[in-house]
């Protein structure tokens, strides 16, 4: 009976011993699943870098028109409106011209009289010269005739000067467009009294509000921008420029050549000196197309082309990661099916590609998508190998 009761206990001990022995044996570890990534090769390409800034578009030819004398504005062309085209020599407005026209007429009459007196004095001089030859006049009489000729010439010169002054004053009482362009401002009304002291030229904004009229040439514009001193060696006179409309909200990855409503330009001049307060230098850009789609006074974005780099090793900017200001990429090893972290030195960026100065070779494939979940030596699976 005792032997029969011990058999089940022995069996239980054997079962427990078998279970305990299983705990000492470790099951083989399972490798983490491969991370899905996309890759692109490092390629030899050309890079066109751009320096970005903002500036104000100005018509290259702007004519501020004003009266020099005070007086009532007696005429304003009622057919003209702001924005209307004007031709060179076209009358826009004038002050009461009666007095000035009378002065001009008086000066011309004085000129006619001076001419007549000069002609008479010259005839008298010649007559005395003949009389001297005939010994019928004295030398003193001839000298007196010659003096009268010189006096008549002086009077004629004075009359000519009076005519010129009267014409200038008459011209200054008239606002005439000196160019073919567009009427940009008109700050006077017919019948109102104008005083030159009301024109405030202390600032451009004040001048635009107080000058009687402004005519601009809408076919050519310039943009002046200020750049930091470290951009000085990146810009050259004659380089291409692109003038955009409103400045973009984000600059990352912007390709100015793909912008809508862009205007082509060229760097016309570069200031060799820095502003002592801002430590910036001025760039002057001229438009190169006829009738550019720009508005005088508009605040615009500008891109200035750097010297183009040809046949340089580049990667997509999406392949780059940074740690403590050090750039690195994940390079795909096809034989292992894994990626390896590699530090790289970077150069110029243009649009969506960045130059790699050191750390990569042409053809090596770098991870562009899925890199945020990677670690050095991790196994990966290609979703889409892009050439």
Alpha helices in 25-138 (DSSP H): 98-133
pLDDT, residue 16, reads 45
DSSP secondary structure string for all residues of 127-195? HHHHHHHTT-S-HHHHHHHHHHHHHHHHHHHHHHHHHHHHHHHHHHTEEE-SSSEEEEEE---TT-EE-
Task: Report the distance separating Cα 76 and Cα 83, nearest Å.
Answer: 16
The pLDDT confidence band at residue 225, using thresholds 50, 70 and 90, is very high
The one-character DSSP state at 245 is S
- Cα-trace Rg, the chain: 44
Do 227 and 53 meet the contact criterion of CB atoms below 8 Å apart?
yes
User: Pick from 101, 119, 106: which is nearest to 159 by CA?
Assistant: 106
Task: Report the distance separating Cα 70 and Cα 87, nearest Å.
Answer: 26
Residues 329-358: what's their mean pLDDT?
A: 91
Q: For residue range 314-326, what is the model confidence (pLDDT) as tens digits?
A: 999 999 999 888 9
Residues 374-386: what's their mean pLDDT?
A: 81
Share of the chain above pLDDT 90, in %: 45
The pLDDT confidence band at residue 276, using thresholds 50, 70 and 90, is very high
Tokens of 90: 């076209």
Share of the chain above pLDDT 70, in %: 85
pLDDT, residue 319, reads 92
pLDDT of 330 > 50? The answer is: yes
pLDDT, residue 4, reads 44
Q: For residue range 24-81, what is the model confidence (pLDDT) as tens digits?
A: 455 555 667 888 899 999 999 988 888 899 999 999 999 999 998 888 898 999 988 9
Angle between helices 139-172 and 98-133 (to 10 degrees): 160
The one-character DSSP state at 48 is -
Q: For residue range 168-209, what is the model confidence (pLDDT) as tens digits?
A: 777 778 899 999 999 999 999 999 999 999 999 898 889 999
Any idea how long the chain is?
387
The pLDDT confidence band at residue 95, using thresholds 50, 70 and 90, is confident
Q: Tell the CATH topology of 35-46+310-385.
A: 2.40.420
How many other C-beta atoms can be found within 10 angstroms of the C-beta atom of residue 182? 19
Residues 237-250: what's their mean pLDDT?
A: 80
Q: For residue range 20-36, what is the model confidence (pLDDT) as tens digits?
A: 544 445 555 566 788 88
Alpha helices in 282-381 (DSSP H): none
For the domain covering 50-60+218-307, report its CATH number: 2.40.30.170
Residues 212-237: what's their mean pLDDT?
A: 94
Domain at 98-172, CATH class: mainly alpha
pLDDT, residue 3, reads 44
Which residue ranges make up each domain of the chain? 35-46+310-385, 50-60+218-307, 64-93+178-216, 98-172
Q: For residue range 100-145, what is the model confidence (pLDDT) as tens digits?
A: 667 768 878 888 888 888 888 888 888 878 887 777 778 888 788 8
The pLDDT confidence band at residue 247, using thresholds 50, 70 and 90, is low
pLDDT of 19 > 60? The answer is: no
Task: Report the distance separating Cα 134 and Cα 143, nearest Å.
Answer: 16
The pLDDT confidence band at residue 362, using thresholds 50, 70 and 90, is very high
Task: Report the distance separating Cα 300 and Cα 56, nearest Å.
Answer: 6
For the entire predicted model, the pTM comes to 0.64
CATH for the 64-93+178-216 domain, from 2.40.50.100, 3.30.2270.10, 3.40.50.300, 2.20.140.10: 2.40.50.100
């Amino acid at each position: 009976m005792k032997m029969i009761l011990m058999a089940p206990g022995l069996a239980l001990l054997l079962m427990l011993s078998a279970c305990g022995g299983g705990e000492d044996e470790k099951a083989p570890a399972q490798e983490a699943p491969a991370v899905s990534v996309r890759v692109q090769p490092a390629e030899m390409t050309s890079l066109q870098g751009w320096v970005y800034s903002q500036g104000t578009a100005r018509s290259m030819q702007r004519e501020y028109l004003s009266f020099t004398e005070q007086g009532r504005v007696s005429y304003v062309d009622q057919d003209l409106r702001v924005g209307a085209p004007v031709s060179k020599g076209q009358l826009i407005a004038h002050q009461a011209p009666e007095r000035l026209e009378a002065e001009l007429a008086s000066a011309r009459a004085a000129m006619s009289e001076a001419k007549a007196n000069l002609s008479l004095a010259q005839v008298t001089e010649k007559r005395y010269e003949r009389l001297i030859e005939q010994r019928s006049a004295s030398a003193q009489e001839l000298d007196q005739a010659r003096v009268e000729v010189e006096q008549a010439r002086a009077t004629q010169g004075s009359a000519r000067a009076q005519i010129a002054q009267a014409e200038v004053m008459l011209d200054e009482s008239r606002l005439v467009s000196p160019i073919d362009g567009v009427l940009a401002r008109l700050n006077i009304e017919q019948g109102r009294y104008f005083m030159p002291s009301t024109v405030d030229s202390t600032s451009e904004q004040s001048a635009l509000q107080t000058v009687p009229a402004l005519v601009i040439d809408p076919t050519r514009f310039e943009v002046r921008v200020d750049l930091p001193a470290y951009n000085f060696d990146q810009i050259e006179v004659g380089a291409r420029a692109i003038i955009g409309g409103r400045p973009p909200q984000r600059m990352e990855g912007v390709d100015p050549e793909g912008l809508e409503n862009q205007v082509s330009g060229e760097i016309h001049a570069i200031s060799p000196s820095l502003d002592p307060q801002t430590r910036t230098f001025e760039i002057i850009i001229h438009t190169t197309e006829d009738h550019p789609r720009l508005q005088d006074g508009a605040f615009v974005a500008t891109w200035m082309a750097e010297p183009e780099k040809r046949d340089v090793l580049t990667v997509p900017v999406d392949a780059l990661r940074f740690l403590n200001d050090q750039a690195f990429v994940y390079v795909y090893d096809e034989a292992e099916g894994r990626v390896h972290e590699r530090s790289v030195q970077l150069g110029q960026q243009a649009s969506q590609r960045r130059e790699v100065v050191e750390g990569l070779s042409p053809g090596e494939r770098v991870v562009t998508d899925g890199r945020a979940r990677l670690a050095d030596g991790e196994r990966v699976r290609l979703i889409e190998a892009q050439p």
